[in-house]
Chains A and B, each alone.
Chain A
C-alpha cells in the first residue's frame, strides 16, 4: 500500500492528570475498513474526536488524508465524513431536505445535489419516502440514510462512531453492504463498534485498553495470536487487563 489515509504517531490527549489517550500509533491504508474497538471509557471517542479535528491532541503527531491535525483542521473537515452513534439527521425535515442541507453545508452545487440526491434515493429504494419526514422512517432506514448522507460529498475518509447501535441484525448486515460499497469506491472507513461480529467484517482492527492500543492486526491474525475461536474471546482477553473502570 503506497498511500496512507491516516497516520498516527504517539498521539496523546490529557485532561488534567487523566491521560485519555496514551501514545497511540497506527496507520490506516487508503480504502481500508479499519475497526477501532475498545470498552467504554477506553479512549475511543477521544481519539476519534482528535482525528476529526474536533479537539487538539496534547502531544504526538497525526495526519488525516495527508493533513496535519494541528495545523490543517479545516482541510481535514472538508475531506472527511462523520456519523455518530446518536442518530444524526433532522427528524422534522424530509429525506430530500436532509440531503440538500448536508450536501449544501459541504458546498455541493445545486446540480450535484440533485444528481447525488436522486442517486442516493434510488440506491436506498426510498423513492416513495423522499417527501416524508425523516422522523417517520424506521430506525434501520434512518441509519442507512444517515450513512449515505455522511458520504454524499465523496470524502476520502468516513468516521463512523458506533453506527449500528440498536439496529436489528438484518439491517446491520445491509448497513455493512453499504460500508463495503463505500470502501470499494475508495473511501477509507474508520469505524468503532461494540458488536464483535462486525469486527470480523473489518480488514484490520485495533483494540484500545486504558488509552493504549494493545492489539492491532487482521481479525484472523488476532484470533491466531490469542488462540481464540472468535473475536469475542480476543476482546475479553484484552479487556480483562483494563484497570480503568468504565464510567
Chain B
C-alpha cells in the first residue's frame, strides 16, 4: 500500500509540473463549456430584419410594433423599393424582410383576407425556417388580438408545454453533451499519454523489474487521473450551474456515482490505447482525434441519433459517451432516479469491465 502511495505521489508531481497536461486538464473543460454554452447555440436571438411597409396604416404599424417587441428580431431599417430589399440581403446582415402590400389594413378589415410577404435568406435554411416560423407565430398572435371572438365555430387551439426546458434553452442540450465529451477526451488522453511516456523514457522497464506488480502499475496510473477527473467534473458542474443556469434536478450523489463510472470507463479506454501505442504522439492522436469525432457524432447532442441510418445507430451503441449522455440528461434535467436509467448504467458498467480486463491482459501479455 505504501508503495502504491509512493507511485501516486510521483504521478501528481508529473501532472503539476507539466504545463501541457495542466492545460488539457483544466483549460480544456472550461474552454469547451464556455464555447458550447455561449457561442454555439441553435437559438436565434436579435436577427436583423427589415420592414417594407407599403401600406402605412394602423394594422401594419401595430404588427410592426409587435415584431419589434419580440426578442428574436431587431428591425434594422425600413425601406420601400424592391431594389433596396435585395441590396440589404446581399450585404448579408439582414436575415429576413417583412413586406406589407398597399392596402394591407383595408384588406384585413373589409376583404377578410390580407396578404403579407416574408422574404428570408435561405442560404442558411435552418435559420430561414426558424425565423419565418417565429414571424408566422407573431402574425397569428396579432390575428387573435384583433378579433378575439372569431366567427369560426370550431377550432383547435394547441397549447404547447415544453417539459424540462420551458425556455428551449440550447445549453441544456449542449452542456450534458459537452460534459461527456470533455471527460471522455481528458480521461483517455491523459492516461494513455502518461503510460506511453514511461515506455518511451525507458522507466517502464525499471518499474517492471521492480517488485511492483504490473497490475498495480496500471492501477497506480489510473488512480491519480480518476482524482483529477473528479475535480474536472466539479468544475464543469459549477460552471454549468452558475454560469449557464443548468439545473440539477436529480440526486447529486447519483450524478456523481454515474459520472465516476463513466470516468473509470474512459480511463480504461485510455489504458487500452496506451498498451497498443508506442509513442506519446500516437497515443495523443488516437485518444484526441480518434475519440473526439465519434464522441461528437455519436453521442447525440449535436446530431440526433434517431435520424441516423440504422447501421450508424448500431455503431453509436459502442460509444460510451452515448450512454452517459442519456443518463446525465435524465438525472440533471428530468430529475429521474436509477429506476429509469439502470439499463444505461448496466451497459456502461459492462463496457468498463470489458475494457479494464482487456487492457490489463494486453498490458501483461506484451511483457512476456
Contacts and interface: CB of A to CB of B under 8 A. Distances in A.
Interface residues of B, number: 23
Contact of A56 (B6, B13, B207, B368): B368
B24 to A, nearest CB: 16
B13 A91 contact: no
Nearest to A101: B10
Nearest to A149: B206
B202 A87 contact: yes
By secondary structure, the B interface counts as helix
A151 to B, nearest CB: 13
Given A55-B368, A88-B202, A89-B203, A77 B210 contact: yes
B367 A107 contact: no
Interface residues of A, number: 31
A63 to B, nearest CB: 17
A88 B6 contact: no
Given A56-B368, A92-B18, A78 B211 contact: yes
Contacts of A90: 10, 14, 201, 203
A55 B367 contact: yes
B210 A105 contact: yes
B2 interface: yes
A3 to B, nearest CB: 22
Contact of B210 (A56, A84, A86, A106): A106
Contacts of A87: 201-202
B147 interface: no
Contacts of B203: 88-90
B134 interface: no
B7 interface: yes
Interface string B182-210: 00000000000000000001110111111
A80 B208 CA distance: 12
Interface of B: 2-3, 6-7, 9-10, 13-14, 17-18, 201-203, 205-212, 367-368
Given A77-B210, A107-B211, 4 more contacts: A97-B13, A105-B6, A105-B7, A105-B207
21 contacts: A54-B208, A77-B209, A77-B210, A82-B210, A85-B202, A86-B205, A87-B201, A87-B202, A88-B201, A88-B202, A88-B205, A90-B201, A93-B13, A93-B14, A101-B9, A105-B3, A105-B6, A105-B7, A105-B210, A106-B210, A159-B209
CB-based closest 6 A-B pairs: A86-B202, A104-B6, A82-B209, A77-B211, A78-B211, A88-B206
